[in-house]
Amino acid sequence: MSLESALRELGKEIQKDERFIALQAAAKVNDADEALQKQMQEMQLLSLKYQQEAGKGEEVDQDKIKAIQEDYQKLYAEIMEGENMKKYSACATEMESMAQYISQMIGLFFDGQDPETCEIPVHDDSCTHNCSTCGGCH
């Protein structure tokens, strides 16, 4: 099997995974949520207003910039509190975990580890981020 064939097989497996299917379903629900779509359009307008104001150089109205930022943050919080977006975010987090796992495994393969037996090291929560205190995780 060629590398490209193996990658395509991986793609098929990813798309059959329940996490991928759940994310796709959540995205469709969000796309059909008219209130959410209206909020997203409002966010885009706020972004444009911000860019226009910020692009004025020395003539920038800092109070206007601050008001736009506050409106944006408030709208963002409202969007993220919606049930549909909460479900989508949870699904996206699961997909990100899958992507991290795949990336870490590929990293092990590139390090020359045996694809049949290698495992992602379990990181201890007691990590001090100071390598001199490390007992090793590999």
**pTM, entire model:** 0.76
29 belongs to a structural domain: yes
Distance CA 12, CA 23 (A): 15
* Contacting residues for 92 by C-beta, under 8 A, at least 6 apart: 23, 26
25 belongs to a structural domain: yes
Tell me, what's the pLDDT at 138?
46
Number of domains in the chain: 1
| CATH number for the domain harbouring residue 101 | 1.20.1500
84 belongs to a structural domain: yes
Distance CA 62, CA 53 (A): 9
Tell me, what's the pLDDT at 124?
62
- Tokens 């990658």 identify what position? 7
138 belongs to a structural domain: no
The whole domain housing 46 covers: 3-133
80 belongs to a structural domain: yes
Distance CA 48, CA 117 (A): 51
Per-residue pLDDT tens, the chain, 138 aa: give them.
899 999 999 999 999 999 999 999 999 999 999 999 999 999 999 999 999 999 988 889 999 999 999 999 999 999 999 999 999 999 999 999 999 999 999 999 999 999 999 999 887 666 666 666 665 554
Distance CA 74, CA 19 (A): 30
